[in-house]
Amino acid sequence: MPRGEIIVGANEGTCLHILPEVFAEFKKQYRDVAVNITRADYGKILESVIYNSVDFGFMSMPVTDPRLTVVLIHRDELVVIAPPHHPLAKLKSAAICEVAKFPLVMPKAGHTRDALENLFYENKLKPQCAMELDSSELLKRFVAADVGVGFIARSNVQEDVQAKVLVAIPMAETPIRRDLALVFRKDKALSRAALAFIDTTVKIKTVDPAVAAKR
């Protein structure tokens, strides 16, 4: 049986909403393997994987560094979030020009922020940013408190929608993808524990059993 330790890097939203079932199943099968989770943003996770500070990273795609193996495990997209009483909450889908009329709660940096900035620029919009946050959970809480409207990956808000704390509105434009990948170095000597973790993750989370590592 595999033993030892694996170190995994992932952001807050991924740790809370995507990975719990992966870690639960892994620990059920491999109790002698310690799992150490490091929470960080995209840039720090990428750096940690490249310099072997962590064994694996879970990161939003695209990941283009040629030194890395990238395995797609989860498909997602951005949705607009608002409190249930908000005017946007009544819409079946929200155009970016409608969303931009309201104060926005935005992520400070990262792929989501870059994609939104590009979308606003392409539509010649100057959004009013009420608050910038580096936590997806804080972002949801401030949107629920009616500080502004936000954007978040659909999987990160399902529980809040079910609890009727927030409403998730699809974007009327072409969806902004927030697909998630398992990432590790191509030249990394993988322990039995690491190989078991890859196998468990792919079996539980991969969107297509035929998906292979992109090399």
Over the chain (215 residues), what is each successive 10-residue block's mean pLDDT?
88 89 93 92 90 93 92 92 96 95 92 91 93 92 96 93 96 87 93 92 66 38
The continuous run of DSSP H or E covering 157 comes out as none
Closest by CA to 131, choosing from 120, 121, 123, 142, is: 142
Please give the pLDDT value at position 78.
93
Work out the number of other CB atoms within 10 angstroms of the CB of residue 69.
19
Please give the pLDDT value at position 70.
94
CB 49 within 8 A of CB 183: yes
Please give the pLDDT value at position 89.
95
| CA atoms 9, 34, 193, 197: torsion sign | negative
Strands (E), 42-176: 56-60, 68-74, 78-82, 104-107, 129-133, 149-153, 167-170
Burial of 64 (C-beta count, 10 Å sphere; 0-12/13-18/19+): exposed
Structure tokens at 122: 């392409």
Structure tokens at 72: 């797609």
Please give the pLDDT value at position 69.
94
Please give the pLDDT value at position 210.
42
